Amino acid sequence: MRLDVSVTEAISIDIWSDIACPWCYIGKRNLEKGLEAVAGDDDAPQVNITFHSFELSPDTPVDFDGDEVDFLAGHKGMPRDQVQQMLANVTGVAEKAGLQYRFDLLQHTNTVKAHELLHFAKAEGVQHEMEERLMSAYFTEGKHVGRIDDLVELAVEVGLNPDDTREALVSGRHLSDVRQDQAQAQAYGIQGVPFFVIDGQYGISGAQPPAAFENVLRDLWAKRGETEPEATAV
């Protein structure tokens, strides 16, 4: 008996983001909504998603003395009125994406250890869960995501071993992975996040609406069906 099976390679989606980037969380939600929309297609696109490190403010101290307005107004030199208007705007956009941002609770911090944790979580098969937990903790719950003790607590919530997680963070063994991601971003010419690289050749910049992801995924998947060879089993 012969069976002709169409073997189609999944679409790769590589996302450069910072867990302290408000537009990155919105972009993540919009991508998820786009994926939900295409999941109902008769021939639904298959995707592999990988998150990559990008530090928006690598010079930020782990324990910043002040709130988000203080940081952007003082550390970045932006007028306070402008900062407050900007935060109100992004809060409104986030709400439309289903996210309840709490900038009044947010604890600004250095995110390099959070990025190291994401690489550790990737090796353990729970990177997506860890990314979501970190962003939710930072933007909606006012939790600290820069200190090792706090990061270990969040890691345990997604099923990671606390001792193994602490060892990975204390040793810094995933720092080279963070730097490799950043070098790749530089090679791609990425200057802001979120930035989505589809199949290693198509770039989508910013928190685009769900429909933008739907269109790209359906188009690429249709082209996959036109060009992929058939595998024959006997």
Per-residue confidence (pLDDT) for residue 8, from 0 to 100: 74
The amino acid sitting at 119 is H
> Mind giving me the DSSP string for 3-39?
EEEE--PPEEEEEEE-TT-HHHHHHHHHHHHHHHHHT
pLDDT grade for 73, boundaries at 50, 70 and 90? very high
**Interval 63-88 mean pLDDT:** 92
Q: Which residues have a Cβ under 8 Å from the Cβ of 128 and sit 6 or more positions away?
A: 49, 51
pLDDT(195) > 80: yes
Structurally, how many domains does the chain consist of?
Answer: 1
Phi, psi angle pair for 33, to nearest 5°: -70, -35
| pLDDT of 225 strictly over 80 | no
CATH of the domain at 145: 3.40.30.10
Q: How far apart are CA 20 and CA 226, in angstroms?
A: 40
- Mean pLDDT over 162-181 rounds to 98
By residue range, what is the domain housing residue 124? 3-233
Residue 148 has pLDDT above 90, yes or no: yes
What lies within 8 Å, CB to CB, of 180 at 6+ separation is none
- Is the pLDDT at 232 greater than 90? The verdict is no
Q: Is residue 2 scored above 60 in pLDDT?
A: no
Q: Which two tokens stand for residue 7?
A: 């073997």
